[in-house]
Amino acid sequence: MDESSTTKRLVDGEHCDSLPIDDRGLAYGDGVFETVLVAAGQPVWWTEHLARLRHGAARLGIEAPADARWDADAAKLIEANRSPSPSVLKLILTRGSGGRGYSPQTAVMPRRIAQLGPAPVIDSRWRRDGICLRLCDLRLSIQPRLAGIKHLNRLEQVLARAEWNDAEIAEGVLLDIEGNVVCATAANLFIVRDGRVLTPSIENCGVAGVCRAHLLRVTSASVETASVNDMLAADELFVCSSVRGILPVVALGDHRWSIGPVTRHCMALLANTSPAFADHAH
């Protein structure tokens, strides 16, 4: 195994390319994760990502390692893999190794995993001209106990993303089983109508995105329950994530939108407060 591959993955702070087969993250999705954009050698929203990871771990009853351990992991990976291009740092915390069965009491010690890879290539047209969405057939189950956190069980998103293989469709909209709009498969959704900005509630399911939280802090956007009709009646629509920033939406099936002033304003706000997204505002 060459040095370049091992330096991109750490398990409990050590170079490693494998996991024990009894890890509960592998067996049951028993853990949480974060996906962090690294730009100019700096993790973007690092403090916010670590805070969400701690929160998610607490919700699952997993003891999170001290932030300093993640700091050291990130520094080691970024230093060993210097690149002018953006990259993505993925942090995974599992409950650790355990015996057969669901009982979490069999776990010995939480396992910390960090890996660094290239950032996804985003079609420049998506930012300039907007993206097309589809309405997914899969419906998100309602489970308030897990709502908001980024737990390792992403089967709903995997199945939803498997519904299409059209390069012209950038994202899929997910509803819950009651028909409420929740989010996209890998992004949060914002609806603009009559000058108001809102993002769907994630109290029952979905992920409370770091970029979503940032936009809620720096704008007057509110959190509300939203229906499909609310979404289709929007004047503007956009999605956001901590890796891709804001992507304007111009189509959902046969429905069309223009990229409006509120979306452009939010893109500019994001650029001003987070330099990693400066080129996204144009």
Q: What is the pLDDT along the chain (282 residues), one digit of tens a residue?
A: 343 444 599 999 999 989 999 999 999 999 999 999 999 999 999 999 999 999 999 999 999 999 999 999 999 999 988 878 899 999 999 999 998 889 888 778 999 999 999 998 888 889 899 999 999 999 999 999 999 999 999 999 999 999 999 999 999 999 999 999 999 999 999 999 998 999 999 999 999 999 999 999 999 999 999 999 999 999 999 999 999 999 999 999 999 999 999 999 999 999 998 888 876 554
Judge contact between 73 and 49, C-beta under 8 A: no
Model pLDDT, residue 187: 98
Q: Which helix (H) or strand (E) holds 214?
A: helix 210-218
Q: What is the pLDDT of residue 1?
A: 35
By CB atoms closer than 10 A (0-12, 13-18, 19+), residue 269 is middle
Is residue 278 within 8 Å of 271, Cβ to Cβ? yes
Q: Which residues contact 280 (CB under 8 A, 6 or more apart)?
A: 127, 245, 246, 267, 270, 271
